[in-house]
Amino acid sequence: MIMIFNTLRNVFKISELRKRILFTLMILGIERIGTLVVTPGIDTAVLAEGFRQLQGTLFGLYDLFAGGAFGRAAVFGLGIMPYISASIIIQLLGSVIPFFQKLQKEGEEGRKKITQYTRYGTLFISAMQAYGVAIFLQNIQLANGLRAVPDPGIGFIVTTMLSMSTGTMLIMWLGEQIDHRGIGNGISLIIFIGIISRLPSALLEEYTQFSSGQRGLLSEILLLALAMGIIAVIVLITQGTRRIPIQYAKRVIGRKVYGGVNTHFPMRVNTAGVMPIIFAQAIMFVPSTVITFFPESELMDSVQRLFSYDSWFYWILYGVMVVFFTYFYTAIALNPVDVADNLKKQGGFIPGVRPGKKTSEFLDNILTRITLPGSIFLAIVAIVPAFLAKFFKIPFNLASFFGGTGLLIIVGVALDFLQQVESHLFMRHYDGFMKSGKIRGRRGL
């Protein structure tokens, strides 16, 4: 504990690091203010009541990433999801369209062009989503006849499109400012602070249960121990890597000798990060979301029960989809053929393995094997909140911090932030947060 306080004191001794941290906090504060500014023309009381009926749908998932702004129909209501969607689309196009493949190989200039295309895509997606949100808000009506939008029409639709699209572009710009002048990954930190903002209300809800006698002291201690254990395992898996030894042949260029060094290529156990859970959760929420648009019937009630959080069918299907998307996204994020080609061009090789095709097959075999435990781990983490909510009667708002998308993002972003802070400390000969070893961060999601 004393070492942590000393480290924090060292952090603020460094002028540049102190300015970066304070700038990051200021940007995150501006982003939180934006989530409270409601889009014009909305009755917030009716909207809040309408959203209470949409928990466990795609709208609830979207609200998680928007930090509660979507449920308030704020100008930042779309959050950063349009940017993430555009980035994923561009990344997928890079694996199938030669034009984007060429851009990915052009170095810094190629990255600038990809960033520009991503911005255009973000604007287009946010405009389309804002139009859909405007139509959705106009259709929210309570049983007593009150509407979330008292004066619907083209004026409200245009206003919503302009305000929410502008809000998304502003969030994207704020994230870029953190990247350039702050510390940490800007986009990830914005999602992180949105998820963390829900923690106080969750803790207050748990305290209410404890103070009312619904849960005893021993149960609270066990829950705290369980939370610490889950976080420790997530950190372990997130940091876990398989190191592939790499040797570089000696090359004589002029009078200088290059290469001849031994190093390693790290292959993460969880290469896909949190993306498989996001994809699987979005698809699993589709039936629940579609049902909200149909009148009540026995068939709709059966489907609703089948895809509810406390359904065994939901858990099994959800887990299988997480495993599938883990392999799918890992194949996109890390291409063994490209790695083998780059090693061959740089004169590197894996001891005992021939360069080229044999190297790519060797890497693909290892990647397939280490991805399996990572995918099973992600599936278990994804199901833990629903399991705790059903069998331990924990409010789902709090149970989401015991696993699932939210906790994975929190741990991943925190590790990346600490890793960057440690880098600044080590450059100035200060001790980091750990006496030995090194925190390995994870950039982005």
**Banded model confidence at residue 268, pLDDT cuts 50, 70, 90:** confident
Tokens 């930042």 belong to residue: 76
Is residue 406 within 8 A of residue 195, CB to CB? The reply is: yes
Chain center to CA of 401: 14
Is residue 319 within 8 A of residue 382, CB to CB? The reply is: yes
pLDDT digits (tens, 9 = 90+) for 347-388: 788 888 888 888 889 999 999 899 998 889 888 888 888 787
Residue 440's pLDDT is 58
* Mean pLDDT, residues 110-132: 89
Residue 404's pLDDT is 73
* Mean pLDDT, residues 195-199: 83
pLDDT digits (tens, 9 = 90+) for 288-307: 667 766 777 777 778 777 77
Beta-bridge partners for 348? 248
* Mean pLDDT, residues 308-330: 85
Residue 442's pLDDT is 54
Residue 287's pLDDT is 74
**Banded model confidence at residue 5, pLDDT cuts 50, 70, 90:** low
Residue 419's pLDDT is 82
Residue 25's pLDDT is 92
* Mean pLDDT, residues 189-203: 84
Chain center to CA of 132: 23
Closest alpha carbon to 382 in 364, 363, 406, 413: 406
Chain center to CA of 114: 21
Residue 159's pLDDT is 92
Residue 166's pLDDT is 93
**Banded model confidence at residue 335, pLDDT cuts 50, 70, 90:** confident
Name the percent of the chain lying above pLDDT 70.
Answer: 85
Say if residue 232 is exposed, middle or buried (CB neighbours under 10 Å; 0-12, 13-18, 19+). Answer: exposed
Mean pLDDT for all residues in the chain: 81
The number of C-alpha atoms within 13 Å of 359 and in the hemisphere containing its C-beta is 24
pLDDT digits (tens, 9 = 90+) for 163-175: 999 999 999 999 9
- Read out DSSP for 150-205? SS-SHHHHHHHHHHHHHHHHHHHHHHHHHHHHSSS-HHHHHHHHHHHTTHHHHHHH
Domains of the chain by start residue, with CATH = 17-197 (1.10.3370.10), 199-445 (1.10.3370.10)
**Banded model confidence at residue 390, pLDDT cuts 50, 70, 90:** confident
